[in-house]
Every structure is written in C-alpha cells, then in structure tokens.
Structure 1
Amino acid sequence: MRVLLTGGAGYIGSHTLLKLLRQGHEALVLDNFSNSSPRALGRVKQLAQADFEVREGSICDAERLDQVFAEFRPEAVIHFAGLKAVGESNEKPLHYYAQNVSGSITLLAAMQKHDCRQMVFSSSATVYGDAAYLPYDEAHPLQPTNPYGRTKLFIEEIIRDWAASWPDASAVLLRYFNPVGADPSGQIGEDPQAIPNNLVPYIAQVAVGRLPFLSIFGGDYDTRDGTGERDYIHVEDLAAAHLAAVSFGHSQTGCEAINIGTGHGTTVLELLRAFERASGRKVPHKIVAERAGDVARSFASVTKARTLLGWQAERNLDDMCHSTWNWQSRNPDGYDA
C-alpha cells in the first residue's frame, strides 16, 4: 500500500515509518521539520534497508499538498503532523488552532480532491479531560481541559463529518495515552527541539546531564504517591497499532475512535524510579505547583483496540525505560550529535 505520513520524521512517525517499510509498504513523508530532524529519516532508511520519498512542506500549504498527492497518489494517510505541547497551547491557542485544525482541513480537502479515502489520525487521550470514571473508554464524555486537547477533539469531529459525507471513506482516530521508549537499536528516539514538554525525555535529559533537574508538576493529587498518574505506552507498540489501524481501515468504511494504551497507570515518581533503575543514575527532582490543564489520573480501557484491531500492548515499563536510556545514552545530544 502507498502511505503518506504527515509529520513522519517525528518521534511516533519515524517509528511507524520503520514498521511500514519492514512490512513492504511504499511510503512518503511530508514534514516541515519544525520539531523533528531529517537525520531521523536517514537512520530509518539504514535500519529498514529500504528507500522512501521525502517532501519538505506543511499541511497548511494547499499547493504543496496538491503536488504531493498528484505525484505519490497515496492510498492512505497517517496524519501525525501537529503542534503537541499542552503548556504552549495555553500560551498560544490561536497558533495551535491555525496549525492543527486549519491544517487538517486543508489535508482532508487534498485527500478528497485526489480520491484518497483512508485516514488514520494521531489523536490523544487529552480529548477526555477530567475523568468522570476510569478507565477511560471511548464512550467517555469528551471535555478537554486545554487548547491542545480541544484541537484534537475538533479535528476528530471534522474527520467524522468528512467520513460521513463520503460513503467510501474510512477513518480511524487513535487516542494515544502517553508514548515513551525508543527503537531497540538506539538509532531513533524522541528528540525534542527545545526543552522537552513530555516527562520521559525530560527525565532522560536530566539523567544524561543536559538538564539540571526534573520539575514534577503537583504532589497532592489523589494518587498513590500524590504525583500524576498516566498510562504510558511503548512507542513500538504504538507504531504497531498504526499498522493494525491501516489494515483495519482498508476493509472498513466510516469512522472509529480507538484508545491506544496499556490499560493501567504509573505515577510520575514510579516512572522516575524505574528510569533510575534502567539508567543506573539518580535523577535530581523537585515537586512544584500543578500545571494548568493537567488531570490527576488517566489510563485507558483497551477492549476496543483488542476487539477491532486485534492489537494490544506487549512491552512493560522497564522495557520503556531501558530503551529510552539506550537511545539517550547513545545520542546524548539527540540527532545533533
């Protein structure tokens, strides 16, 4: 199958790209490299021993999209491209709506123009907001607590309407929980372009000496140790979920939202201790005020993923921490090494 990956040079995109290539799919990556590195794609080529096409560009650029679709003629799109920092979205909401929501509309219009009928969308568990009950299942009320989460929700609703208007269209909305880890080769991993907004790369950069200490946002949540609890999933498992979604969508029409997680939660302090065991290093940290838009606890019901996709997570917390440390210790400065 010919698959277009928007944002395919990013953390999740590069791992998914590697699995696609290893399964014999043709791929084209469209990325503006605003929060990713072209070097990641070079490493994917080496690991996969397979070539693929790359185009630099933005999903907001209708002319560029038209050119890419006309040349590559994708049969499916995996849509990763988008801004993704909760804190930054509170500071720059209009920027997030312009890039994420408007860009996705432009992408869907290009798909329709070029008769590309299958979409897998990189959504997020942030669409759920504060828990009315746990675990979150796909029927949980959708009440995101920050602009980033609202962009994901708005895009989901736009994709639903797009799919409903086109009887042959297929869309799978993958609601990620918290992706962590890296490829076992240590050649590709998460490499934020600035100070990390996500917990695990921040811990890894403290452990390797790039950052002085970890700030833990909130120590009085109603959890086992007072720190926030999240469902962390290995990026390799997440990448496998995308391939399962592509396969599922190829034989289905309509739109399905599906949680991608492990089904259980880990607190910040539990994750910190696991990373210290994996790295053999102490990670200096301090507890600071809660961050606007964060929730206390978040973990997934994964029944629908097992039922529809035949998928479930296979890797545990130790696997996540060991692979992250393998990546970070081999690449202390990320792809800029």
Structure 2
Amino acid sequence: MEDARNEIIKELEHLRDMGIIAEEELEALVEKLKSSIETDILDAEMLIHLEAAKAKANLEIDALELVGAITPEQAEAYREEVKAATKPSEVAAVMAKISVHRDFKALNDAIEKAKLKDQHNYMPNSWTSFEIALRHAEEVSETEHSAKPATQIEINDAFDHLLLAELKLERVASTKAIDHLQDAIRVAHSKKEKDYTKESWADMQTVLGEAEAMLAKLDGNVDAFTEKEVNDMTRKLNLAMLSMKRVDGIGGIINPIKPHTPTKPASKPAAASASAPSASASAPKAAASSLPKTGEVTHSLMSAGLLALGMAGYFYMSRKRLEVSGDIYH
C-alpha cells in the first residue's frame, strides 16, 4: 500500500511540473492520499488529470508543427506516444522530448510568422491579447545574445503564450462570408408565403429577421461579428429554408405512395374460328405426358412464387429509395 501511495505522489509531482495542477493542489492531494485507506478515489482523479496532460501535450505538438519547428511526421509520432501514455510520467517524458525543439530559433520563427498577420482581419479583443503575447515573446527573444539569456522555462512560456494567442485569434467577417449571407437572404425573399404551411413559413421568417439584423450591423462595420458567426447564420437560414413544408407536400414532406390506378384493359381479340382450333388449344393435350408429377408441380409453383415476391420486393424498395431521395414526386 505504501509503495502504491508513493507511486501516485510521483505522478502528481509530474502533473505539477507540467503545469496541470498547482503546488497547493498537489499538497492537498498528497494529504488526502495519506489519510485514505484506499487509493481508488485518487486513481480516478489521476485519470482526469492525465487527460488534461495529454490535451496540453497535443496542443504543444500542434503549435510546433504549425511554425515548422517539427515535421508532420515528427508531430504524428509524438501524438502516438501521447495517446499511448497510461500515466502522467509518460506524458511528461514526451513533453521533455518536445521541449528540445522549443529553442530560440523556434521562438524567433514563431515571432516572424506572427508578424505577418494583419490586424484588420481580426476581432479587436482577440488581437489585443495576441499583441501582448507577441511583445512578450520579442522581449524573451532579445535576450538570446545578452549576458543573461532567457532560461528554457522562459522560452517555453513565451512560445506557448504566443501560439495560444494565435490560435485564439477570431477573424472578422470576410467579404465572401457576407456575400454568402446576402445570397441566402435573397433566396429567402424569393419564397412565396402561399406555397408553404403557416408554421414553417413563420419559422423561416424568424430566422430571416435575425439574418437581416446581422447584415444591417455588418454594413460598414465588418468587425461587428466574427467570420464564424456570419457563416453560422448563413447555415441557419439555409437550414430553415430546407425545412419549410409546402402545402402541396413537396419540399420538407415527401408524398406518400399513391394507390396504383389500373389502366383500362385492352379490347378482347376476335374469337377464333370454330372450324380451325388454335395450336395453343391442342398443345396441352400433346404435352400431357411430359408434365411433371404433382409434387414436382407444387415445388415449381412455390419456386416461381418466391421469385415473384423477391422481384416485387426489389422494385418496391427501389421505388421507395427514389421517393426518399426526392427523385420521384407524385
């Protein structure tokens, strides 16, 4: 039991070193462990922290791949190691390998890449956070050739903060996104109320009002909404239109299969001459001796019946698939 507790404490220390838990949280967990008879509860908590450690490791791998500090092949290999880890110490070992790539060169590359971004393309709040992280990274980078260069921990911190701020940048609505929203609004206005059920028309009009309000705010103020918000509104309006139900049943509702109306039978052929019996009339007599026995007839009839049922089922299902896909309307 004591060995198990000591092992858990070591794993908790790895979590602290990775920044997953604070020093105070570590001390509280250790005290809890010492007073506990069983370690099951702490093991369960450890699994939660393990997932957090994996998430952080994967974020750093993504960041290094993004700036070209590691190749896609290296990144994939690191991700597989993280995925296979069963305890925090194993994740920490992978992160130790990763930290080798986070040197001044990687930091400088990240800074140069960050400087290429255009402020006008991003929302003001996210850009402010990004600028702060960029300035801090530049300050750390400037120490490279000084008498007291930044430590590995300081480089890691500057690198992580810059990449995280970059990942959190929110793009303002682009002209393309706004055009797509305008197109959707134009299509919505082309619909005619008389063609749709009252409820579905009202639902679409509600979404249309939201879309038009967004478009009005975007006029001359592209940073009123993010690119994602505009795209989401376009999708919402398109979905509302697709969900509309026509009064004639076309659109949101697929018509049920209508009963088949039999066609008028063809006129009967002229009666055959009594003095000239047809060949078909005499055929059964001529072939009587070649007919199968009763059991064989029954078996043949059953086989033919099953075949007919199978073919009917096939054509019925084919028809249903066409109706569901919208290729057939009645």
Which TM-score band applies after superposition, normalised by the shorter structure?
Answer: under 0.3
Query: What TM-score does the superposition give when structure 2 sets the normalisation length?
Result: 0.21
> Higher relative CO (CA 8 A, sep ≥ 6), structure 1 or 2?
1
Structure number with higher helix proportion: 2
Larger Rg: 2
TM-score after normalising by structure 1: 0.21
Give the structure with the larger strand fraction: 1
